[in-house]
Amino acid sequence: MYSSFIPPRQVKIGDAAAFVGTTPRAIRHYHEIGLLPEPERGGDDRRRYGYEDMIRLLWIRKMADAGIALDDIRDAFAGTASAGADNDHGIAGNLERLEETLTAQEAELRRQRTAVRRMRTEGSRMGLLSDFVTSRLKNLPEGSLRQTDLDGLLVIERIFGPLGAAVNATRYIALATHPELREESDRVDAAEEALDDTVAVDDPRVAQVAAERHAFEKVLEAVIEDSGLAQSDDALFESWDALHPITASENGDEASHHSGSGQRSMSAFDAAGKMPYDFSPARLRCMQLTEGLAKTSWLAETS
């Protein structure tokens, strides 16, 4: 369900660092070495970071955690317009050189080598996701997932952890395996994106698009149920519990762990205040109306 909290379109360096799991000092260093283009400053002379900046920071963080030197990451990104642009050849070359050095090291370096090999096997973008998420996507036809799908899962995993991202992957699986559903999804997405700053919040198109989104989500929900994906979701929770049994000392803190990276997930509210989205007032109103329609529909079905 959509939150009524209005997220920022751009965030300050402290919020960007907190979301990614690094420090403002580290981000400034990325600017100094040319790893991350320095964004424009606001009227208060502070740097402001947008959605694409955050995606690139997540790329840098994930690859650095795998043991890749910042200079190698910068070389891999050289010549690309943004972190979203594909440059798999350069990244794969750096991963290969790194793996050659890992063979002579022990303990912690073995963990890094496994992470790098996995990135090469899964693909540079898919490999940024945890094993628990990628295992959910392995049987999909090659190329059926879009770059934006994987970017979205990367953000979801940072907020809700691997289990949350694996559950959300159900949506992308349904879209990837039902072309007509993907086509309708693209149409509704385009209609929402058209609700830009030139559209008033009380424009009739806002309510119309909200109704279209609600109708689409109902169809998507039915497809997920009929295809058996909902049952697969139930199995995910059982699998997660088996892999991550909660001890007495961990009870109540299990949801805060981000597996495999040493990072912790954050609350959805905290994330919404740190992750920028370029949503106009009309589009935010559309989300609120969609949420209201979903609540009304749920109450009608359960009464």
Q: Is 41 helix (H, G, I), strand (E, B) or coil?
A: strand
Report whether pLDDT(301) > 90: no
Q: Is 288 exposed, middle or buried (0-12, 13-18, 19+ CB in 10 A)?
A: middle
47 phi, psi to nearest 5 deg:
-65, 145
Select the more confidently predicted residue: 28 or 245: 28
Q: Which two tokens stand for residue 145?
A: 């997932």
Residues 79, 89 contacting (CB under 8 angstroms): no
Report whether pLDDT(66) > 70: yes
The percentage of the chain sitting over the pLDDT mark of 70, rounded to a whole number, equals 78
The mean per-residue pLDDT over the stretch 280-302 comes to 93
Q: How confident is the model at residue 11 (pLDDT cuts 50, 70, 90)?
A: very high
Residue type, 279: F
Select the more confidently predicted residue: 135 or 187: 187
CB atoms within 10 A of CB 90: 18
183 phi, psi to nearest 5 deg:
-65, -45
Q: Which two tokens stand for residue 91?
A: 């990244």
Instruction: Give the position of tokens 């009870």.
Output: 251
pTM of the complete model: 0.68
The mean per-residue pLDDT over the stretch 37-64 comes to 89
Q: How confident is the model at residue 65 (pLDDT cuts 50, 70, 90)?
A: confident
Q: Which two tokens stand for residue 12?
A: 């300050």
For residue 167, give Cα distances in angstroms to 172, 232, 234, 255, 264.
Answer: 10, 9, 9, 14, 18
| pLDDT for residue 89 | 60
Select the more confidently predicted residue: 184 or 277: 184
Query: Among 79, 60, 78, which residue's Cα sits nearest to residue 68?
Result: 60
Cα torsion angle, 149, 155, 160, 161, sign: positive
The tens digit of pLDDT for each residue in 81-99 reads: 444 445 566 566 666 666 6
Average pLDDT, the chain: 82
Select the more confidently predicted residue: 22 or 108: 22
Report whether pLDDT(258) > 50: no
The tens digit of pLDDT for each residue in 176-211 reads: 999 999 999 999 999 999 999 999 999 999 999 999
